[in-house]
Amino acid sequence: MPSVLTSALAPLASAPPARPTQAQAEDAVRLLIAWAGDDPNREGLLDTPARVARSYAELFSGYNEDPCTHLTRTFQETGGYDDLIVLSNIRVVSCCEHHMLPVVGRAHVGYLPGNRVVGISKLARVVSGFSRRLQIQEKLTTDIANAIQDSLDPRGVGVVIEAEHSCMTLRGVDTPGSMLTTSRLLGQMRDDPQIREEFLSQVRQARA
């Protein structure tokens, strides 16, 4: 049975570590350069740690936002439109959480509106917000679909992501051109064969 002191310290033990500073991040890059076998103090590498830190700040900017906030402003004046809405070929730039190497591809997002719709640029922002984190593609696909479902309460949601993983194409099995496809279908998009086929047909057309 845990002591009173242990119970009191439990919340502290689970607290996330403080975020390192920019200077600490740059020091880490210098260490990696040295570990790789080069001299971080030579002319061509002097500014590399700062550049890497800035690029990582951009690649992982998804940690600084809640992508669902892009779905808070909706519109109800749709003229009664209740058919499928699909935004295709949204660029995906993410990073594999296992090797911290780029994952680059495209997403196709669709939903069946209930009584409101959202600006199409917001769908792209949701994809970007969730993408710019360390993760696996399966979770990314699920996160995007769940965010749209929870925020808009549509009759159905569909998300398909096709991406090339550098951890496979630049190292390891070394298979350039291989693509991973993941999908998440919710509501009528999953349960209604006709609607599902309409969405997937639009995805196939977008690929072409």
Catalytic sites, residue numbers? 96-99, 137, 165, 167
Rounded Cα distance between 113 and 104, Å, is 29
C-alpha span between 171 and 160 (Å, rounded)? 25
What phi and psi, each to the nearest 5 degrees, are found at residue 55? -70, -35
Nearest to 135 by CA among 170, 100, 185: 100
Which tokens go with 22? 């920019």
Q: What would the DSSP string read from start to end of 26-38?
A: HHHHHHHHHHHTS
Q: How far is CA 141 from CA 15, 66, 165, 171, 186, in A?
A: 28, 16, 15, 24, 12
Task: Count other C-beta atoms under 10 Å from residue 148's C-beta.
Answer: 27
| The pairing of beta strand 102-112 with beta strand 156-165 | antiparallel
